[in-house]
Amino acid sequence: MGVDDCIGAEDLVKGNGRMNSVFVAAIFNVKHGLQELTADEIEACGIIDDDIAGSREERALRLWINSMQIENCFVENLFEEVRDGLVILRVCHRIDETSVDWSKPKMVPKNMFDNNHNCDLAENAMKALGVRMVGVGA
């Protein structure tokens, strides 16, 4: 099948759940039975061939944001592009159109104070949506 030898026959029959999970995962990685993504599907979710930078969580969040197809919002570097708070405000607005009052944010932030103002608004919008944030604040 082309699966690497990750466990032996003795490990398999012992019934160790973790070892069996490793074996099943190795099989799934080789013979998953899933269809390859089409070019349209890859383009729709914003997957780039060399898109391996960042942590798994960062990549998942970035792909989720890009899959929303929000106007003027395509995230390539999550940590840099959320600094001004506008991306988070756009995502909150996409989820619930009443969560953001667009007369308040600084659409072209000029300094860190404007960025902080937008981030405060984004924090309030997330609280309005019921997002539980731990260790997040101005």
Mean pLDDT in consecutive groups of 10 residues from the start of the chain, 138 residues? 75 78 79 74 63 72 90 88 92 92 94 93 92 76
pLDDT in the model for residue 48:
57
Model pTM greater than 0.85? no
What is residue 120's predicted lDDT score, i.e. its pLDDT?
A: 92
pLDDT value at residue 91: 94
Which residue, among 60, 57, 128, has the nearest Cα to 95 in the 3D structure?
128
DSSP element (H, E) containing 65:
helix 56-67
User: 59 Cβ partners below 8 Å, 6+ apart?
Assistant: 51, 53
CB 51 within 8 A of CB 73: no
User: In the numeric block, which tokens belong to residue 135?
Assistant: 């260790």
